């Protein structure tokens, strides 16, 4: 009995409803795509894949869905260095992780080694910074930039 399968645990219908939004076929397709990949897809790539699930989905809907999900904190938008945004589910089966970003080919590599220490330290910083700057922190990002093995 695998855990974390989409339709079981994740009540997307309810999540959307909580934000005064409705669940639709287009949104479901986008979410299914995000759940089914371990890559960091662009809006366009999500669109292509979503269309294979539901040919009626339009690119506009993909953009609008991703924006909603970002506002809801369910999706993170990432900057890989090429000029288009890339997206990943905030709570995916990959678990919490950070990124290595190649400045040559813009590839993003996930890593979750050693991040326990990183996260622990960040939580302390978070607490202090929140207070000092009167800033409500919702999430964090750690990325290392350099040249990946392929590009050397």
Partner DNA sequence: CTCGGTGCAAAGAGTTTGCAATCCG
Partner DNA sequence: CGGATTGCAAACTCTTTGCACCGAG
**Which entry of DNA, a second copy, none binds 133, CB below 5 to 8 A by partner kind?**
a second copy
**Which entry of a second copy, DNA, none binds 11, CB below 5 to 8 A by partner kind?**
none
Q: Name which position in 2, 22, 124, 138 contacts DNA (CB under 7 A).
A: 22
DSSP secondary structure string, 56-107? T--HHHHHHHHHHHHHTTSEEEEE-SSSSEEEEESS-TT-S-EEEEETTT--
Nearer to a second copy, 11 or 125 (CB): 125
132 touches a second copy by CB under 8 A: yes
45 touches a second copy by CB under 8 A: no
Site for a second copy in 101-130 (CB under 8 A): 102-103, 109, 111, 113-115, 117-118, 121-122, 124-126, 128-130
Site for DNA in 2-21 (CB under 7 A): 13, 16-17, 20-21
Strands 98-102 and 85-89, sheet pairing: unpaired
**Which entry of DNA, a second copy, none binds 58, CB below 5 to 8 A by partner kind?**
DNA
Cross-strand pairs, 42: 86
CA 75 – CA 86 distance, rounded (Å): 10
3-state secondary structure (DSSP) of residue 16 = helix
**Which entry of DNA, a second copy, none binds 79, CB below 5 to 8 A by partner kind?**
a second copy
CA 106 – CA 79 distance, rounded (Å): 9
78 touches DNA by CB under 7 A: no
For residues 130 and 136, is the Cβ–Cβ distance under 8 A?
Answer: yes
């Amino acid at each position: 009995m695998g855990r974390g399968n989409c339709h079981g645990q994740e009540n997307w219908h309810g999540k959307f409803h909580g934000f005064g939004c409705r669940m639709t076929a287009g949104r479901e397709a986008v979410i299914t795509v995000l759940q089914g990949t371990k890559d960091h897809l662009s809006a366009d790539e999500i669109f292509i894949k979503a269309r294979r699930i539901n040919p009626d989905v339009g690119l506009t809907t993909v953009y609008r869905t991703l924006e909603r999900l970002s506002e809801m904190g369910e999706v993170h938008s990432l900057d890989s260095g090429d000029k288009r945004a890339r997206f990943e589910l905030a709570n995916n089966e990959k678990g919490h992780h950070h990124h290595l970003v190649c400045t040559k080919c813009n590839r993003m590599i996930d890593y979750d080694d050693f991040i326990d220490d990183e996260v622990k330290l960040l939580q302390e910083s978070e607490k202090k910074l929140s207070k000092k700057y009167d800033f409500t922190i919702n999430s964090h990002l750690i990325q290392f930039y350099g040249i990946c093995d392929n590009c050397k």
